[in-house]
Amino acid sequence: MKNVANYISVSRIIMSIILYVTETFSIAFYIIYIYCGISDMLDGFIARKSKNESKIGARFDSVADIIFVIVAIIKILPVLNLSKGIIIWTVIIALIKVTNVICAYICYKKLVLPHTIANKITGFILFIASFIIVNTNSIIFEIIICSISTFAAVQEGHYIRTRNYN
Q: How many structural domains comprise the chain?
A: 2
Domain termination residue (choose one: 54, 79, 104): 79
Residues 45-87 pLDDT 10s: 898 888 888 888 888 888 898 899 899 989 988 888 888 999 9
Q: For residue 95, what are the domain limits?
A: 81-166
Q: Assess whether 1 and 74 both reside in one domain.
A: yes
pLDDT of residue 48: 86
pLDDT of residue 70: 92
Q: Assess whether 25 and 75 both reside in one domain.
A: yes
Domain termination residue (choose one: 50, 79, 108): 79
3-state secondary structure of 75: helix
Task: Please tell me whether the overall predicted TM-score, pTM, comes out greater than 0.75 for this model.
Answer: yes
Contact 42, 25 (CB under 8 A): no
Q: Assess whether 112 and 68 both reside in one domain.
A: no
Q: Assess whether 3 and 48 both reside in one domain.
A: yes
Name residues of the chain where pLDDT drops below 50: none
Q: Which residues touch 85 (CB under 8 Å, ≥6 apart)?
A: none
